[in-house]
């Protein structure tokens, strides 16, 4: 069941205020935390449900309704509903169950038939009506939340910044492209060949640090500035959460703010200037 | 991987299955090659429906998961008519929800071993429509298996009561 903003339910459903006012004074919200184990796809999900309608709360307390978190990962074809009578849920998911985009949809669902359901919190338009509710019926829903689970999340920046060639670019120049998968350093075909040869030697020689300073640092600064200008537009990109987490780790401002990204990029790349051979030699 | 298998391991099968009829135009030929030799566009649709080999693998995987004791029986029931396969397998929301698919299959099996009136084209379509409608209001994932089977049975009975031709259409 997908969240449909304009869905017309045959009975009153408590939804986010922007998408319906069947319950004008009540709210249903789920605070979801997805915690990843570094370097693996093992994930635990913590949810705190906040429900304010007394009649719906009574149904849950009397075990006639449940909180449900529907987890779907299309990449692994994983699908599971975590059903609970508690407003606080902490569940470990099987390793490798989730990869790529994961959608978490919170609901309140009736767990048995209710013959004459009504709530004092309904909009006056419903008058004194009551509804026959079948078990499984959705009584409340919150907006689904998307997360990206990627085993590359914890790897160096190479998982976020990639390199490709384009014949439209002249030799000696390069530019940045940002798409769903990666932030790309794009250069001419000839330069790209040279770059690949140079990169093959990165681990053999300390001069590899010049690539870090000459390409990766300006690429990251440029990309961060671009993303800051349209963070909402980039929010669904695969790398977004990972990059935002890196900024958080180094004490930087979250994406979408007017921060000094030159400083942030140097922190993320762990002060690359100091690793350049000329600098190191000068210090020796 | 699927593109490799279609090109290098089983090109004769994929060609015979999808390119045996003369294409209507160059565009039509190109479209068939792209659709069935590659796995492009919507990932699930490409995997489940379009790629010449992955669609077979997907069907086999579901058959093993849904009727582990007798996957051939699952295939016999599902593949006996194109609309049955399309309704259950090619709809990603359903074929990726193994619990609900298993429950639907359980009821299909009961009717397959009975008078098979449920498989009359109009009745089957009506059943699928009503399950789709019910699935829009009830969160089937939150129900225990026996409740979903019961619901599928009820909707099957309703579709049969509403009519449609006798026997398989």
Last residue of a domain, one of A151, A182, A203: A151
The reply to whether A271 and A224 lie within a common domain is: yes
Residue A22 domain flag: yes
pLDDT of amino acid A37: 66
Last residue of a domain, one of A151, A178, A206: A151
Of the residues B39, B91, B141, the best mutation for testing chain A's interface (the one with the most A CB atoms within 10 Å of its CB) is B141
User: Which structural domain, as residue segments, surrounds residue A25?
Assistant: 17-151
> A107 to chain B: which residues are within 8 Å by CB?
139, 142
User: What is the distance in angstroms between the Cα of A81 and the nearest Cα belonging to chain B?
Assistant: 6
The reply to whether A129 and A30 lie within a common domain is: yes
The alpha carbons of chain A give a radius of gyration, in whole angstroms, of: 25
pLDDT of amino acid A161: 85
Nearest chain A alpha carbon to B94: A1
Cα–Cα distance measured from residue B127 to residue B147, given in angstroms and rounded to the nearest whole number: 17
Confidence of residue A152 (pLDDT cuts 50, 70, 90): very low
Q: Do A68 and B142 touch (CB under 8 A)?
A: yes
Nearest chain A alpha carbon to B140: A136
Q: Do B142 and A79 touch (CB under 8 A)?
A: no
Residue A68 domain flag: yes
CATH number for the domain spanning A54: value is 2.60.40.10
Candidates B91, B93, B151, B95; CA nearest to B127 is B151
Which residues pair with residue A70 across a beta bridge?
A: A81, A105
User: What is the distance in angstroms between the Cα of A68 and the nearest Cα belonging to chain B?
Assistant: 7
The three-state (H, E, C) secondary structure of chain B, written as one string: CHHHHHHHHCHHHHHHHHCCCCCCCHHHHHHHHHHHHCCCCCHHHHHHHHCCCHHHHHHHHHHHHHCCCCHHHHHHHHCCCHHHHHHHCCCHHHHCCHHHHHHHHHHHHHHHCCCCHHHCHHHHHHHHHHHHHHHCCECHHHCCHHHHHHHHHHHHHHHHHCCCCCCCC
**Taking 80 as the threshold, does the pLDDT of residue A256 lie above it?**
yes
Q: DSSP letter at A16?
A: -
The reply to whether A63 and A183 lie within a common domain is: no
Q: How far is CA B19 from the centre of its chain?
A: 23
ipTM for the assembly? 0.80
State the distance between the two ends of chain B, measured CA to CA, in whole angstroms. 39
Of the residues A77, A137, A141, the best mutation for testing chain B's interface (the one with the most B CB atoms within 10 Å of its CB) is A77
pLDDT in tens, A162-178: 888 888 899 999 999 98
Lowest-pLDDT choice from A211-215, A280-284, B23-27, B97-101: A280-284
Strands A78-84 and A65-73 turn out to be: antiparallel
Cα–Cα distance measured from residue B141 to residue B147, given in angstroms and rounded to the nearest whole number: 11
> A79 to chain B: which residues are within 8 Å by CB?
96-98, 141
Q: DSSP letter at A252?
A: P
Residue A226 domain flag: yes
Residue with tokens 């922007």: A18
Nearest chain B alpha carbon to A83: B142
The reply to whether A145 and A165 lie within a common domain is: no
Nearest chain A alpha carbon to B139: A136
Q: Do B151 and A136 touch (CB under 8 A)?
A: yes
Of the residues B139, B151, B152, B154, the best mutation for testing chain A's interface (the one with the most A CB atoms within 10 Å of its CB) is B139
For the beta sheet containing A183-187, the strands, ordered from the edge strand earlier in sequence to the opposite edge, are A161-165, A183-187, A174-178
> B93 to chain A: which residues are within 8 Å by CB?
2
CB neighbours of residue B73 within 10 Å: 15
pLDDT of amino acid A39: 55
- Asked if B62 and B101 touch (Cβ cutoff 8 Å), the reply is yes
The reply to whether A211 and A263 lie within a common domain is: yes
Residue A11 domain flag: no
| Burial of A87: CB neighbours in 10 Å, binned 0-12, 13-18, 19+ | middle
The reply to whether A191 and A255 lie within a common domain is: yes
DSSP string, A53-66: -HHHHHHHHTTSEE
Number of domains in chain A: 2
pLDDT of amino acid A28: 96
pLDDT by 10s per residue, chain B, length 169: 999 999 999 999 999 998 888 888 888 888 889 889 998 766 677 888 889 999 999 899 999 999 999 999 999 999 988 888 888 887 766 777 888 999 999 999 999 999 999 999 899 999 998 998 898 899 999 999 999 999 999 999 999 998 755 545 4
Size of interface A-B (CB pairs under 8 A): 52
| Burial of A101: CB neighbours in 10 Å, binned 0-12, 13-18, 19+ | middle
Residues in chain B: 169
pLDDT in tens, A38-87: 655 678 899 999 999 999 999 999 999 999 999 988 777 888 999 999 99
- Asked if A265 and A225 touch (Cβ cutoff 8 Å), the reply is no
């Amino acid at each position: 069941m997908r969240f449909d903003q304009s869905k017309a339910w045959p009975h009153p459903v408590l939804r986010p205020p922007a998408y319906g006012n069947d319950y004008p004074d009540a709210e249903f919200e789920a605070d979801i935390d997805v915690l990843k184990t570094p370097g693996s796809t093992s994930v635990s999900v913590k949810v705190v449900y906040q429900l304010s309608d007394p009649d719906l709360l009574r149904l849950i307390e009397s075990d006639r309704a449940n909180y449900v978190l529907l987890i779907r990962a299309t990449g692994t074809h994983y699908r599971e509903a975590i059903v609970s009578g508690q407003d606080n849920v902490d569940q470990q998911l099987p390793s490798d169950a989730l990869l790529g985009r994961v959608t978490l949809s919170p609901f309140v669902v009736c767990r048995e038939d209710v013959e004459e359901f009504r709530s004092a919190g309904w909009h006056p338009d419903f008058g004194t009506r009551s509804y026959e509710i079948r078990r499984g019926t959705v009584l409340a829903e919150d907006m689904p939340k998307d997360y990206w689970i990627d085993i590359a999340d914890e790897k160096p920046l190479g998982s976020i910044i990639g390199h490709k060639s384009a014949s439209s670019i002249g030799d000696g120049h390069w530019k940045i492209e940002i798409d769903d998968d990666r932030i790309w350093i794009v250069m001419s075909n000839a330069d790209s060949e040279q770059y690949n040869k140079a990169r093959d030697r990165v681990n053999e020689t300390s001069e590899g640090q010049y690539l870090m300073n000459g390409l990766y640092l300006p690429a990251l600064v440029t990309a961060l500035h671009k993303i800051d200008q349209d963070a909402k537009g980039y929010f669904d990109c695969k790398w977004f959460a990972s990059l935002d987490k890196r900024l958080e780790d180094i004490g930087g401002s979250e994406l979408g703010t007017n921060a000094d990204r030159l400083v942030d990029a140097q922190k993320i790349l762990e002060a690359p200037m100091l690793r350049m051979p000329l600098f190191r030699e000068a210090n020796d | 991987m699927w593109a490799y298998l279609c090109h290098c391991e089983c090109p004769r099968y994929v060609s015979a299955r999808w390119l045996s009829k003369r294409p209507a135009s160059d565009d039509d030929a190109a479209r068939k090659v792209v659709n069935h030799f590659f796995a492009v566009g919507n990932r699930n649709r490409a995997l489940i429906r379009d790629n010449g080999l992955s669609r077979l693998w997907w069907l086999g995987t579901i058959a093993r998961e849904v009727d582990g004791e007798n996957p051939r029986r699952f295939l016999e029931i599902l593949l006996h008519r194109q609309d049955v396969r399309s309704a259950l397998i090619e709809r990603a929301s359903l074929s990726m929800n193994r619990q609900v698919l298993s429950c639907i299959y359980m009821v299909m099996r009961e009717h397959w071993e009975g008078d098979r009136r449920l498989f009359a084209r109009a009745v089957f379509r009506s059943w699928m429509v009503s399950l789709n409608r019910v699935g829009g209001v009830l969160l089937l994932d939150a129900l225990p298996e026996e409740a979903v089977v019961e619901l599928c049975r009820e909707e099957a009975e309703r579709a049969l009561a509403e009519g449609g031709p006798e026997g398989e259409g």
